[in-house]
Every structure is written in C-alpha cells, then in structure tokens.
Amino acid sequence: MFSFLTRRFRKPSVHHPEHAYRVQDTGDALLCMRDSAEKRTMRWDAITDVSIVTTDGGPFFPDVFWRFRDGSGEIVFPQMALGETEVVDRVMKMEGFDFERSNAAMTSTQNAEFLVWKKK
C-alpha cells in the first residue's frame, strides 16, 4: 500500500523548455547554445544594450527573456536557461545597470521590453 501511495503522489518530473538553452560567460564573450545545434557568441565589449523582454504567456510558457544586442545582431534566451545565473550576475555588475527597471520587468505580466543597460 505504501509503495502504491508513493508512486501515486510522487512529484512528476517537470521538463522546462528553458533548459534547451545553455548560456555561459567565457570571460571575453557571452556564449548561447540551443539544443547544441545553434550556437551564438557575442563579445562583452561589443554589447551595446541589454533588455529584459516579458510576455503575457506565463506561467504556462516561458515569459521572461534576456536580450543582448551588439552592432551585428542579438542573443535572446529565456529566464531559467542553464547558466543564466552566472551571466546575469555579470550583467548586474556592469556600470549603469538599472535595478529599478529590472525589478519592474520581473513583476511584469504584459508584453513589454525593459532596457536595463546601455553602453555609454
């Protein structure tokens, strides 16, 4: 009986689609990989701005994304991407990072973009 109950009420494994993304601070660059098939690199010194993009799709779909831009393109990855904590820690240490706008983004439930850092 006990084994039946533990099987019945065991917390199911939850697959997070955000984990298809892996990001890394390599020291000189931001590296973003998606399912090991798509790979983008952006040098930290080339980044022109960083935004947090929110959608109204949560909580059933990813609804917070980080957007990094340089002169030639962008890297976008969802909150909870593997390695996100280390990358975000670095971004928050960049001079001029806007913590107020970051907090506003993290509480947003609407489709919006919050510029949190811009190169001077």
12 found inside a domain: no
Instruction: Please give the residue range of the domain that contains residue 25.
Output: 18-118
Handedness of CA 17, 83, 98, 67 (dihedral sign): negative
Please give the Cα distance from 31 to 22 (Å, whole number): 8
What is the number of structural domains in the chain?
1
110 found inside a domain: yes
Please tell me the pTM assigned to this model: 0.84
DSSP annotation of 55 reads: -
4 found inside a domain: no
5 found inside a domain: no
Task: Give the model confidence (pLDDT) of 47-75 as tens digits.
Answer: 999 999 999 987 778 899 999 999 999 99
Task: Give the model confidence (pLDDT) of 4-38 as tens digits.
Answer: 333 444 444 456 788 889 999 999 999 999 986 78
Residue with token string 């109204």: 56
70 found inside a domain: yes
